[in-house]
A and B are shown apart, each in its own frame.
Chain A
Amino acid sequence: MSNNIKINVCMGTGGIAAGGDEVMAAFDLELRKAGLEADVEKHCAVHRVGCRGFCARDVLVDVSVDDVRTTYQYIKADMVPRLVEEHIIGGVPVEDWVVGQDYHDFHDRQEKVVLADCGQIDPEDIQAYLDVDGYKGIVKALSEMSPAEVIECVKASGLKGRGGAGFPTGMKWQFCAANKSDRKYVICNADEGDPGAFMDRSVIEGNPHAVIEGMSIAAYAIGAAEGYVYIRAEYPLAVERLHKALSQARAHGFLGKAIHGTSFDFDIKVKLGAGAFVCGEETALIASIEGQRGMPRAKPPFPAAKGLWGKPTVINNVETLANLPFILRKGAEWFASLGSETSKGTKVFALTGKICNTGLIEVPMGIPLKEIIYDIGGGIEGDRLFKAVQTGGPSGGCIPVEHIDLPVDYENLLKVGSMMGSGGMVVLDENDCMVNISKFFLEFTQSESCGKCTPCRIGTKRLLEVLTRITEGKGKKTDIDLLLDMANDIKDTSLCGLGMSAPNPVLSTIKYFRHEYEAHINDKRCPAAVCRSLLTFTVIENLCKGCGMCLRACPAGAITGEKKKPHYIDTSLCVKCGACFDVCKFKSVIKE
């Protein structure tokens, strides 16, 4: 038997929730029982997010014997004895539990730049980052390039901001560099507030040094000596890793005074956000760092001219910054060769919702939407029909099935009424109601509206009221036109990006799914059977076995019936909670 055994257990959020701790303990126990020496480690540097991006399959376990790696999926603690006995002692992998072709499909179609080292290197060890050529980008910039040349390089690469709006990064830097000032700042925007997005967190947790190096490159280019990372307090592990990485970078002389023997000084502070979506907006973020209510102000002046403490400031998103070391190291041409004609490089997406393979993915810009959903994502769960994919979070829109061949990049997403956003991609199927989805996002933007400007404060409230009454069956014939009218006004007149994009979910769902709005308003019917007020629950007599499960589950006492005889739901008492529908094992309760 080999002495070279290595076991990696996936310990991301998914891994831990699926029982990763227990699996690790079981391996320790079984190996000790068998008198074996093996190296059991936590895999998954991308702790709390999802190792390799595929946590739907957790607990994932790698068993390597003499460097031949076998990956197992859905492993539980009670499966460990068989793995140890058959594979590690017997030398024969347990084929039943090995990942299938879909696991490889999920990975093979991806192209990893930003995520390349996430999950491969130890994020808490600077040496691991140095071993994969870490900090060579900033060293190259310092020793071979002038700040202007760095800006030229980033401009030539075609890199655009990954936070949502897609403004060319090099141009932003050039504006800031041109402003003379005694002080300038670089801010890393890690206030990832979009529901359904966890790209930035995974990058910081998986490879914090890449973000630090990216910030250093930006600082050198614009002439800043101080930087801030504005990060959500809800990301405790990312914050901890960032602090560790910062102190290691200082110890190795990549931060501090006279970096790499040059006259370049730079250091970074961490500021914790306090939970406000609007702080993703640049000027609101600046107000928040200054300790104020995070409210945006009118632009211009742009932060590049007047930013933090009134000084010229560049604000870049985490993923944007994490691309920079690679661009400096491998060159602008290499980066520009990736992606589509107008959008260069790759994009990280959080692929979630009603899809088989949920997880974190990185793909070249311009990849057809179909490939993401069917090849990487493995198609729709339970063979139901694909309805739409929601991108861009609360600021984005829904892309319907007729645009399934759309190449995914900034320009194309805008063309169909959505946007890149920070990269959330939520797949919806036939059981999702588009009016409900639109209402869901408006609930979010309405409560996150900072209240400074009237169109956003009052407008989102009114939009939400109209959407709510439509989903309750109280919609009026004129409501669709009213929604469109208000939505366009809010878009045109709001102060900041939050308000300007808040109506997008409404506009895009009306554009592509107007018939669903009409069904709610005219027929008082929710075609996807989601909106509770419009549902009726009934028992199909010939399917009902009279088991009494629904009767016991009903909180309103609306169900009657004798044992072993068909039951009956009194619709006047029914509160439409759906408990009967959930508990019925014979599918005899229907909702419509």
Chain B
Amino acid sequence: MESSMLTKLNTIHSHFNNNGGNIISALQDIQSEFGYIPEDAVYWFSDKTGIPASKFFGVATFYSQFYLKPRGKNIITACCGTACHVKGSDRIIFRLQDELSLAKGEDTTGDGLFTLEKVACVGACSIAPVMLVNQKVYGKMTPDKMVKELKTYEESPSE
């Protein structure tokens, strides 16, 4: 393991101890540091704390917030709430999957530029259908408009 990763994990570990050993908080810290939950990090934590790795994976796979695979540079979040659903979010998602050449079950493009994910509701139902790109909100979207918006991220990838 790289030493920079080790330093980060040690900090998270001391936080974990102060937190009364809360697994969810530890995983949230790991994810906010690395962008996802690296398997190595879980095994390191398991060794350090004596808590079985299965416990960490159990929690990580239970909650939709946690990712066990690295994610793309730009995160496209498709809202799949009821309001967005009846206003056609499905068609935007189909179009994007096609446009980004994502095979069934895949969510990140081969070049790692985009990850397309669905969420239950972002709570912006008044302007449905809603898509987010890196937390920027796009309301009242159509498949065409969304594809056009994505072009701007391809040309000048966000930092």
Residues from chain A with a CB closer than 8 A to the CB of B82 are 195-196, 352-353, 390, 393, 424, 426, 440-441
A350 adjacent to chain B (CB < 8 Å): yes
B-contact 0/1 string along A419-445, CB 8 Å cutoff: 000001010100010000100110010
Q: How far is the CA of A9 from the CA of B64 in the complex (A)?
A: 35
Q: How far is the CB of A285 from chain B (nearest CB, A)?
A: 12
Q: Are A234 and B83 in contact, CB atoms less than 8 angstroms apart?
A: no
A291-B23, A291-B24 known; A274-B123 Cβ under 8 A: no
Residues of A contacting B98 with CB < 8 Å? 555
Q: Which of B130-144 contact A (CB under 8 A)?
A: 130, 137-140, 142-143
Q: Which residues of A contact B62 (CB under 8 A)?
A: 276, 293-294, 450
A209 part of interface (Cβ distance < 8 Å):
no
With A193-B120, A195-B82 already in contact, the answer to whether A233 and B126 are too (CB < 8 A) is no
A: interface residue count bin: 35 or more
- The 8 A CB mask of A376-397 against B (1 = contact, 0 = none) is 0000000000000010010000
Partner among A235, A273, A426, A441 whose Cβ is within 8 Å of the Cβ of B83: A426
Q: Are the CB atoms of B63 and A294 closer together than 8 Å?
A: yes
Q: Are B63 and A276 in contact (CB under 8 A)?
A: yes
User: Least Cβ distance of B151 to chain A in Å?
Assistant: 18
Q: Is the CB–CB distance between B126 and A195 below 8 Å?
A: no
Any A CB within 8 A of the CB of B5: no
Is B124 an interface residue when CB atoms closer than 8 A count as contact? yes
Q: Which residue of A lies closest to B62 (CB)?
A: A293
Asked whether A274 lies within 8 Å of B66 as measured between CB atoms, the reply is yes
Beta-carbon contact of B127 and A196 below 8 Å: no
B68: interface (CB < 8 Å): no
How far, in Å, is B117 (CB) from chain A's closest CB? 11
A577 to B85, CA, bound (A): 16
Judged by a CB distance under 8 angstroms, whether B6 is at the interface is: no
CA distance in complex: A49, B24 (Å):
27
Contact present for B23 and A233 (CB under 8 Å): no
B25 x A350 contact (CB < 8 A): no
Query: Using an 8 Å CB-CB cutoff, how does the interface string of B55-85 with A read, 1 for contact, 0 for none?
Result: 0001100111110000000000000111101
Q: Are B127 and A14 in contact (CB under 8 A)?
A: yes
Asked whether A222 is an interface residue with its Cβ less than 8 Å from the other chain, the reply is no
State whether B58 touches A293 (Cβ < 8 A): yes
Q: Is the CB of B86 within 8 A of A353?
A: yes
Give chain B interface residues in 1-50, CB to chain A under 8 Å.
21-25, 27-28
Query: Which residues of B lie under 8 Å from residue A233 when comparing CB positions?
Result: 28, 65
Q: Which of A9-50 contact B (CB under 8 A)?
A: 13-14, 16-18, 48-50
Complex CA–CA separation, A194 to B117 (angstroms)? 18
Minimum C-beta distance from A550 to chain B (A): 14
Q: Does A359 sit at the interface, judged by CB under 8 A?
A: yes
A: residues with CB less than 8 A from B are: 13-14, 16-18, 48-50, 54-56, 58, 192-198, 201-202, 233-235, 272-277, 288, 290-294, 350, 352-354, 358-360, 390, 393, 424, 426, 428, 432, 437, 440-441, 444, 448, 450, 555, 577-578, 582
Q: Can you report 20 residue pairs joining A to B where beta carbons are below 8 Å apart?
A: A14-B127, A14-B139, A17-B130, A49-B123, A49-B124, A58-B127, A195-B83, A195-B120, A272-B28, A273-B65, A293-B58, A293-B59, A350-B125, A353-B83, A358-B83, A426-B82, A426-B83, A426-B125, A577-B91, A577-B94
